[in-house]
Amino acid sequence: MAVLVREHARLHRPHGPSISRQRRRAFLVLTLPAVILYTIFFVGPTLASFWVSLHAWDGVTEMRWRGLGNYALLLEDEVFLAAFRNTLAILLAGGLLVFLLSFALLLGMRAMAGRRFARSVIFFPNIIAPIVLSVLWGFLFSTGGLVDAALSGMGLDPPNWLGDHLFLVIFLGLIWTHTGFYVTILMAATDRIPRYFYEAAELDGAGPLQQFRHITMPLTWDVVSTAAVIWTISSLKVFDFIYAFGGTSNDLPPIHTWNTAVFIYAQTFGGRVPAYSFGYASASAVVTLVSIVIFVLLLRRVIRRDPIQF
């Protein structure tokens, strides 16, 4: 909108500045409610979290100043570092897999009959609560569960999935639930591409991979880059899928499966007798937030291209 207003201002300057001033005023009036609400509900709490992170606080009594002490502790806290590593694993390795799978499905489904139905099936996990999917996923991988039965049927000796490889199971589950969403977005983007590009490429002897590389990728790049930013943000917020591996609603999942979101919950309201360490949890939230900002900025810089008009 800002761009539009600027454009108009430049075009209409000869007619006098009053219209542009009015427009600018209208712009301010129209955006002000959103800015105020955003400041109260997002910017304010974020700044307050930073302030709380400099203290020790149980949420009830007076805060005690700790300076950067919480941050120094975080850097030595094996549990937090492991949670941070898991967060990065989901973000980077998970992201890579989700997008590779999405592209592979896109390639496979582009010319497939019944592709809309297939897309709905892949998208299905997105309309179910993650907590329900997580419970189902856990039972699939239980000792003697469906996965074990399938492996045994093939003559393989199944590992103890939930006991020895729980994070891997969660990781695979996250990829399963998220891939459908990105396939749907990317497919909508490819559907906009006129068919004659592909027909021309076929006449020139280009195979599916070459068509993907020279037509699909360049023409959907702006969508891909937006999807990558969405993944970055949503992967750092993954919570309920992991949390549901905690057994009952009172229990936290094993620490080796925590990401930073579960870590923050564990330091505040989680567990049978919650820890109520709001200062420490705020410090870990700030570290997570700063990481998100850095990753999004880096990502946007790396994948920035001029969109191609067609």
Interface residues toward another protein, by CB under 8 A: 44-45, 48-49, 52, 57-61, 73, 76-79, 135, 138-139, 142-144, 160-164, 245-252, 254-256, 264, 266-269, 271-278, 281-282, 285
Q: How far is the CB of 246 from another protein (least distance, A)?
A: 8
Q: Provide the minimum distance between the beta carbon of 111 and another protein in the complex, in angstroms, as a whole number.
A: 41
126 burial type by CB count under 10 A (0-12 exposed, 13-18 middle, 19+ buried): middle
Min dist. Cβ of residue 238 to another protein (A): 17
Which lies closer to another protein via its Cβ, residue 63 or residue 299? Answer: 63
| Six-digit token string for 302 | 């790396």
| Minimum distance from residue 140 beta carbon to another protein (Å) | 10
Q: Do 242 and 138 meet the contact criterion of CB atoms below 8 Å apart?
A: no
Contact 34, 20 (CB under 8 A): no
For another protein, the closer of residues 125 and 138 by Cβ is: 138
Nearer to another protein among residue 74 and residue 105 (C-beta) = 74
- Cα distance between residue 245 and residue 260, in whole Å: 16
Question: By C-beta, is 72 or 100 nearer to another protein?
Answer: 72
Alpha-carbon distance of 268 to 281, in angstroms, equals 7
Q: Please state, in angstroms and rounded to a whole number, the distance separating the CA atoms of residues 238 and 150.
A: 29
User: Whole-number minimum distance, CB 126 to another protein, in Å?
Assistant: 23
End-to-end Cα, the chain, rounded Å: 23
By beta-carbon proximity to another protein, the closer residue of 21 and 256 is 256
